[in-house]
Amino acid sequence: MSKTIEDLKEAFAGESMANRRYLAYAEKADKDGNPQVARLFRAAAAAEAIHATNHLRTLGEIQDLADNLKVAIAGENYEHSQMYPAFIEDAQADGHQKALNVFEWAMAVEKEHEALFQAALDTLKDSDDSYDYYICPVCGHTHPRTAPDKCPVCGVSGARFLRVH
């Protein structure tokens, strides 16, 4: 692999992390009563997302829909079958309960995501269904069509779920 390809991959990872970090910082700034700083963080996050997408596009990693779904399925499978089990072992060994909780939640949700992506791939050419998804704001559980009464992963009330449309 060329140095430039390695650099593009590193830049994609860095810009992606900055995007998520700045969105988390914006949420905190809003809670702290500083909407102007929150807007700045959201603006910077949007710019970082543009950078990340540009890098991904330059890498040639944005393909047709079926290929994108296959990559998503493989990524989710890796996370729930290899990455998070190893992280959970580490958190247990370290006695880090908060990390253990978030790793277990994420692992459960990555399994759901794999199944959702697989269902989308399986019905890609046959379905014109259109519906929203509801996301648990605590663990990320992703539920199609309507929010459940309570999250099956972490137990939070379905009334708190975020609608994605």
Render pLDDT for 99-140 as a digit per residue (tens, 0 to 9).
999 999 999 999 999 999 999 999 988 877 889 999 999 999
CATH number at residue 146: 2.20.28.10
Is residue 32 exposed (0-12), middle (13-18) or buried (19+ Cβ within 10 Å)?
exposed
Alpha helices (H) along 32-131: 35-58, 65-78, 84-94, 97-122
CATH number at residue 113: 1.20.1260.10
- Our count of domains for the chain comes to 3
Range 137-153 average pLDDT: 96
Domain membership flag for residue 148: yes
The predicted model gives 34-60 an average pLDDT of 97
Same domain as 96, residue 75: yes
Q: Do 54 and 72 fall within a single domain?
A: no
Q: Cα dihedral sign for 144, 127, 121, 46?
A: negative
This prediction's pTM: 0.89
Does the pLDDT value for residue 2 go beyond 80? yes
Q: What percent of the chain has pLDDT over 90?
A: 95
Q: Is residue 112 part of a domain?
A: yes
Give residue 128's pLDDT: 78
Average pLDDT of the residues in 9-24? 97
Q: What is the pLDDT of residue 9?
A: 97
How large is the average pLDDT for residues 56-60?
Answer: 97
Contact 69, 117 (CB under 8 A): yes
Structural domain including 152 reads 130-165
Based on the domain organization, do 53 and 67 belong to the same domain?
no
124 within a domain of the structure (yes/no): no
In a domain, residue 125? The reply is no
